[in-house]
Chain A
Amino acid sequence: MTFVSKPRVRHPNLPSNELGLTRRDYEGSVSTLCAGCGHDSVSAAIVQACSELSLPPHRFAKVSGIGCSSKTPSYFLNRSHGFNSVHGRMPSVATGANLANRDLMCIGVSGDGDSASIGLGQFAHVVRRRTNMLYLVDNNGTYGLTKGQFSATNDKGSTSKKGLPNLYEPIDLVSMALQLGASFVARSFSGDKSQLVPLIKAGLKHKGMAFIDVISPCVAFNNHSGSTKSFEFVRENARSAVNADLILGQPEITADYAEGTQENIVMPDGSTLQLYKIDANYDPYDRIGAMTYVQKMQEQGRVATGLLYVDPDAMECHDIMETTARPLNELTEEALCPGSEVLAGINQSYR
């Protein structure tokens, strides 16, 4: 927690984006989390991604539940819409917000407690529904706000700060998201912005449920030698399957990668998602393969990271429900009450 406010003055050479805004214009208030918290790096990565994509801050809805992670929407995009909901209920609020106004970009930030314990049911169903949002979990494997108990994502055998081992199997949110129909599933690490920022950019541009599990070490309670969610452990054991990058417009031709390891996907807005396969045999369009890969890596004590699965053509919630193409607040009385003749026609269709 810092009591000094962050000075408004900025670096004179800080680049501006297409909207004339700098990275500083995408920040929020100063974080009240512990010094060195991984969650602050995730917030900074969101700031960087949104600024580099020149997204207008006021066109965002940011939603969260309860926990250290769920405080973070205060720390980025302070000119956007926000809703800090009840514990574990972020997905419902996000779904509502997205159904009401499909033009707003929706970022949900949750934690391992919020999504894998009290909100596990909400998590499962928002993924099933394929709500068009970026769902980030700041995953530190611990209940930081209540002084460091194991959370549901803590690996079996991983120890507490005092040295006691965790006795239970972990819930792997990535595997669940794959199984339940998310069309964009990734895992990353708060200590690796070079991987995380492009994934956030790609997730923001993805149409449908984009889920990123971000391992984000808790420096206060879960960054010790027995932890599998520490800076040191993740740095040593993370293995990226596919790195992603999002390019606005047409991509440059790069010759750095061996043939067959680079692929481009054209996104709905015309931007390009570039995939670089680190593991040449990995197929990021194969949902079952991805699930197997994640589990195998887990068995070897490794952490599978990168863009693990993507289906660029999947339907999202609005497509499935055949909702109106316009945000609800833009529907006029004429559109909402089209008159007795139309009603009669509808009634007729059910006869």
Chain B
Amino acid sequence: MVVVLETRMEPTNIFDPNYFHKVVDCQHACPAHTPVPEYIRLIAQERYTEAYMLNWDSNVFPGVLGRTCDRPCEPACRRVRTEETPVAICRLKRAAADNKGDVTSYLPHVPTEKNGKRIALVGAGPASLAVARDLLPFGYEVHLFEQDEKGGGFMRSQIPAFRLPEEVLDEEVDRILNMGVHCHFGQAIDSMRELMEQNFDAYFIGTGAPRGRDLELTGREAVDDYIHIGIDWLSSVAFGHITEIKGKVIVMGGGNTAMDCCRTSLRLGAESVKVVVRSAFEVMKASEWEKEDAMREGIPIINNRPPKEFVHENGKLKGVLFECVTPVRGEDGRLRYEPSGEPDEFIECDHVLMAIGQDNHCPWIERDLGIEFDKWDCPTLDEVTLQSTNPNVFFGGDSAFGPENIIWASAHAHRAAISIHLYCQGRDLKADRPPEGLNLLSTKMGVHEWAYDSEHDPAARQLVPLVEHESSLNNLKVEVELGFDAQLAAQEAQRCLNCDVQTVFTDNLCIECDACVDICPMDCISFVENQPEAELRQSLMAPALNVDQDLYVSGSLQTGRVMVKDEDVCLHCGLCAERCPTNAWDMQRSVVHIPQLGSFGE
């Protein structure tokens, strides 16, 4: 008997902030934990400025991210599981940025009297800028060092203007710089030792992963002039040093940089552009939509072609020889490549753009300063505090754990800013960190009225309007995506399921009338005998096969059974609460508190 009791599921602790946070799939998947449903509701109410600022608070660059984010939220969107296509979260973010009003009154106050602590930020990319934003309202004197003449880091140097217009970037970078950053632009830091001699209280390194990988193949040396490292080439284009590319171009690599390289080449006058990828199409690192954008512009993506040799004649590149392979899925589920038996393929070209990855590279940090690096040239860091082995040096963004996305830089920055603050206050970087929290607020306004639009909208995902093809291909600076206008944004916003409005169940109010079970459109709710989780998952109204999604288990009810709700495909339509005669179900908006420097309330 005792054994049975031990294996049953315990009642769910809904006061653990992580439980309901996990139900908000988009917010949970976002590295910066942006409160997505909340800002989508604000967009639906045409409160674009508030929607923008809610974003700005957690991810710092809503206008940039609304165009360039890798969108970990979208594959996580519950709508993928209920109706296949996710809410166009990223484009809604952009709609908030495009339609917002004056944000000045919403910006945090930066005190004129400083707290006496000086912080050095190296590299003016998203990570350093976000750290500056978090620290400035607390009276820190922030010094930003950057080798380029302008701030923005790789957002400026590597993301082409047809995806991210310069004025959008300038606005969000300048907003932070204008909060009172001491900018030291146009001067590369080539010695960490020299910087440390200036006796800052703490140092934050946000220099990205600046070294593009090269490929050592037969013939590589002879044709150096025709082979360009993707990120360096994009950077030269961004700063106007390169304005054209002639002839036939091959882009090697399958990531987002490759997609930017090929589309940029097309706009700089290339006669033809081909992307050639070593691996299969489905395992390419580029985001789905970036591949689609490239293909829509008529750029072929050729897969399963590892390069063999650069073919040249009289010091001039003639083309590249590729091996032909076939992907075979091994027993471990991973793809392996076997020779396909076809003859090697020669693809003619005049230029090769190499976009096969990038690495961390900090040659300017002397290795005797107590800052340890691992064998991949990444700093040894505490994953939570982002503190290096030298206590007053912190890392964030791509320079911390290797290449990621802007949204990760924002997330790192918040954590690093807390660490820097605690360090400067002489407090413990782990024990004194503010905890995650959660507030629950009932949305009940009347018998059948809720403070959110509970009705499910079955509409399909709205397509984003694009600029007319010809004009965009002739001009590097014409943005391809036009973004949602207010009407499209409002329609798309209706598709959001409001996953942050939680179904909260109160055991002792339930009379087990089954009304919620009968009305639930997704068969999420069951009243069953308690069992071990694996059996319980099979015994519900519809089997709960997605083990990544939790079961919400109540305490024992009058009949000895328990209420079990499978969180997987709940529409948050509130019908269970509407049909409940005793208010045992309530729809409560969960507000997750992710620690930021502001959480100190100082």
Interface residue ranges, A against B (CB under 8 Å) = 1-15, 23-24, 30-31, 34-38, 40-41, 43-44, 190-191, 193, 217, 219, 223, 231-232, 235
Contacts and interface: CB of A to CB of B under 8 A. Distances in A.
Name the residue in A3, A36, A38 with the highest tally of chain B Cβ atoms < 10 Å from its Cβ. Answer: A36
Contacts of A217: 513
A35 B577 CA distance: 9
22 contacts: A1-B448, A2-B578, A2-B579, A4-B448, A7-B573, A8-B458, A8-B521, A9-B82, A9-B521, A12-B81, A14-B523, A14-B542, A31-B519, A35-B515, A35-B579, A37-B515, A43-B518, A44-B518, A219-B511, A231-B511, A232-B558, A235-B559
A35 B524 CA distance: 18
B454 interface: yes
B205 interface: no
Contacts of A1: 448
B511 to A, nearest CB: 5
Given A12-B81, A193-B514, A4 B454 contact: yes
Nearest to A34: B581
A41 B569 contact: no
- Secondary structure of the B side of the interface? loop
Contacts of B455: 4-5
Nearest to B457: A7
A36 B522 contact: no
B74 to A, nearest CB: 19
Please give me the 5 A-B residue pairs with the lowest Cβ-Cβ distance, nearest first: A36-B581, A7-B456, A44-B518, A11-B542, A219-B581
Contacts of A23: 523
Given A2-B519, A8-B458, A232-B558, A41 B573 contact: no
Interface string B552-565: 00000011000000
A44 B517 contact: yes
Interface string B489-524: 000000000000000000000011111011101111
Contacts of A30: 519
Nearest to B455: A4
Interface string B259-272: 00000000000000
Nearest to B511: A231
B573 A11 contact: no
Given A11-B569, A231-B511, A4 B575 contact: yes
A191 B513 contact: yes
A46 B519 CA distance: 14
A10 B522 contact: yes
A41 B579 CA distance: 12
- Secondary structure of the A side of the interface? loop
B42 interface: no
B581 A35 contact: yes
B582 interface: yes
A37 B514 CA distance: 9
Given A2-B448, A4-B448, A38-B513, 14 more contacts: A2-B578, A7-B456, A13-B543, A23-B523, A35-B578, A40-B514, A40-B515, A40-B519, A40-B579, A41-B514, A41-B518, A191-B514, A231-B513, A232-B511
B575 A40 contact: no
Contacts of B518: 40-41, 43-44
Contacts of B571: 7, 9
Nearest to B516: A36
A35 B580 contact: yes
Interface in B11-68: none
Interface size range on B against A: 35 or more
A208 to B, nearest CB: 29
Nearest to B545: A13
Contacts of A7: 456, 458, 521, 571, 573
A111 to B, nearest CB: 17
Contacts of A34: 581
B418 to A, nearest CB: 41
Interface in B566-602: 569, 571, 573-575, 578-582
Name the residue in B512, B519, B543, B573 with the highest tally of chain A Cβ atoms < 10 Å from its Cβ. Answer: B519
A30 B579 CA distance: 11
Given A2-B575, A235-B558, A9 B458 contact: yes
B542 A13 contact: yes
Nearest to B512: A191
B522 A11 contact: yes
Contacts of B511: 36, 219, 223, 231-232
A143 to B, nearest CB: 19
Contacts of A43: 518
A261 B462 CA distance: 61
A191 B518 CA distance: 11
Interface string B273-306: 0000000000000000000000000000000000
A13 B538 CA distance: 11
Given A4-B573, A37-B515, A44-B518, A9 B83 contact: yes
A9 B522 CA distance: 7
A266 B25 CA distance: 51
Interface string B209-244: 000000000000000000000000000000000000
Contacts of B82: 9, 12
Contacts of B522: 9-11
A7 B82 CA distance: 11
Contacts of A37: 513, 515, 581
Contact of A44 (B81, B458, B514, B573): B514
A211 B447 CA distance: 36
A168 to B, nearest CB: 28
Interface string B523-555: 110000000000000000111010000000000
Name the residue in A2, A7, A43 with the highest tally of chain B Cβ atoms < 10 Å from its Cβ. Answer: A7
Given A35-B515, A36-B582, A235-B559, A4 B574 contact: yes
B259 to A, nearest CB: 32
Name the residue in B456, B518, B521, B581 with the highest tally of chain A Cβ atoms < 10 Å from its Cβ. Answer: B518
A115 to B, nearest CB: 23
Nearest to A30: B519
Contacts of A8: 458, 521
Name the residue in A1, A9, A190 with the highest tally of chain B Cβ atoms < 10 Å from its Cβ. Answer: A9
Nearest to A235: B559
A163 B268 CA distance: 87
Contacts of B542: 11, 13-15
A23 B519 CA distance: 12
A235 B582 CA distance: 18
Name the residue in B448, B514, B578 with the highest tally of chain A Cβ atoms < 10 Å from its Cβ. Answer: B514
A12 B569 contact: yes
A11 B541 CA distance: 10
B139 to A, nearest CB: 50
Contacts of A9: 82-83, 456, 458, 521-522, 571
B509 to A, nearest CB: 11
A3 to B, nearest CB: 5
Name the residue in B571, B575, B579 with the highest tally of chain A Cβ atoms < 10 Å from its Cβ. Answer: B579
A6 B542 CA distance: 17
A35 B517 CA distance: 12
Contacts of A5: 455
B523 A219 contact: no
B521 A36 contact: no
B569 A219 contact: no
Contact of B519 (A6, A12, A14, A38): A6
